[in-house]
Amino acid sequence: MSDHLRREDSDGTADRLSVFREQLDGLTRQTRRRSLVARAGIDFSSNDYIGLAGSERLADALRDALNNGVPVGAAGSRLLRGHTDPHAAFEDKAARFFGTEAALGFGGGYVANFAVITTLPQRGDLLLMDALSHASTHEGARAGRAEVQLFRHGDVDHARDLIQAWRRAGNTGAVWIAVESLYSMDGDAAPLDQLAELADQHGFLLVDEAHATGVYGPDGRGLAHHLEGRENVLTLHTLGKALGGSGALVCGAKCLIDFMINRCRPFIFATAPSPLMAVAGSEALDILRDEPWRRDALRDHVTVFGAELSRRLPQLSVSGSQIVPLIVGPESATMDLAARIQQRGFDVRGIRPPTVPEGTSRLRVSLTLNATPADVIRLAETLEQLWPDL
């Protein structure tokens, strides 16, 4: 009998839940136990960067789709009747929009990242990941076939050194370089051009555009838009952040997408995403083209918040993007500061290990069009008032 079944309740029966209770109690003692909290306050924490989640155009598109008989659920995997006209139309449109040969939809960014990492890098290949890559990439690496190494965040020279050492050891496989174009907890951009040069020499470049899609590049095509269309570049675009819906797209060479359809277990054995999300994604791409003012307004938020912070709290670094990490350091001080800011009516969340490295607990300020320019200034004022109390 396993250890967690040997322990008995007071009535002599096995306590099957003891191991889980003990671990939860441990998290409580460490003040790291999570819980679900309803949204409240002005949005400075979501990824709805350009305000599409509440867009009337998206809502109207979904109403029209329902009225025209588009089903809510796919009712099967894509290979078993779950493939619908909205799925096909959206993927074709997305491939044209992002400038790739093909695109493939998934239920979310996490599963899409995991799917790519566990399917494309083969035995004998090297998966070379930025150390701050998303948890989905790390989980995919653990479950995948390729050898895995990490390079220091944003350090192309370190990535090159690792590849050269791997080659000197006699390895001849492809190198798959996995990065985020804009990092979700640091708000900084990857050196994509230099990494693409490495990929041209040694293999492939996998770019997670989750936090750049809809915000950067022509019509919001992302930071890697100028690399799209290369046979050795694969990009991931999430629909649940700036595009206002849910799901994700993997975009790249048709050969790679066909391989995913035939060999990717998270695609083959999963129920297809709702056809309605394909409709929403398609409409979101149109909005990106039709309403550039959204990106302009978000850039104004970034500029104003950066200027206000630089003036009020010059000791803090500013990322220059819509994701602004404000490093506090100690966990308890971070969470206390976040709570006090929330009491002032701003939804700002504290981020702590294991999401970020030890000693780097931070406020993750996310600038979105769900806040007004006045709200952005008032948040900077509030930070100035509360920060000295640490």
| Angle made by CA atoms 117, 122, 126, in degrees to the nearest 5 | 80
Distance CA 207, CA 205 (A): 6
Pairing of strands 349-351, 361-366: antiparallel
Annotated catalytic residue: which of 180, 186, 188, 331? 180
Whether 134 is a known active-site residue: answer yes
Structure tokens at 191: 């050196």
Whether 202 is a known active-site residue: answer no
Whether 77 is a known active-site residue: answer no
Whether 93 is a known active-site residue: answer no
Annotated catalytic residue: which of 87, 134, 202, 225? 134
Q: Which residues contact 358 (CB under 8 A, 6 or more apart)?
A: none
Whether 226 is a known active-site residue: answer no
Annotated catalytic residue: which of 138, 211, 225, 237? 211
Whether 211 is a known active-site residue: answer yes
First to last CA, the chain: 50
Distance CA 303, CA 297 (A): 10
Q: Name the β-bridge partners of 238.
A: 248
Annotated catalytic residue: which of 130, 188, 208, 308? 208
Kindly write down the DSSP assignment for every residue of 225-241, as one continuous string.
GGGTT-TTEEEEEESSS
Structure tokens at 153: 């965040």
Annotated catalytic residue: which of 202, 241, 282, 347? 241
Annotated catalytic residue: which of 47, 136, 181, 274? 47
Whether 241 is a known active-site residue: answer yes
Annotated catalytic residue: which of 45, 184, 246, 370? 184
Give the closest residue to 249 by CA, choosing from 78, 55, 374, 107.
Answer: 107
**Active-site residue list:** 47, 134, 180, 184, 208, 211, 241
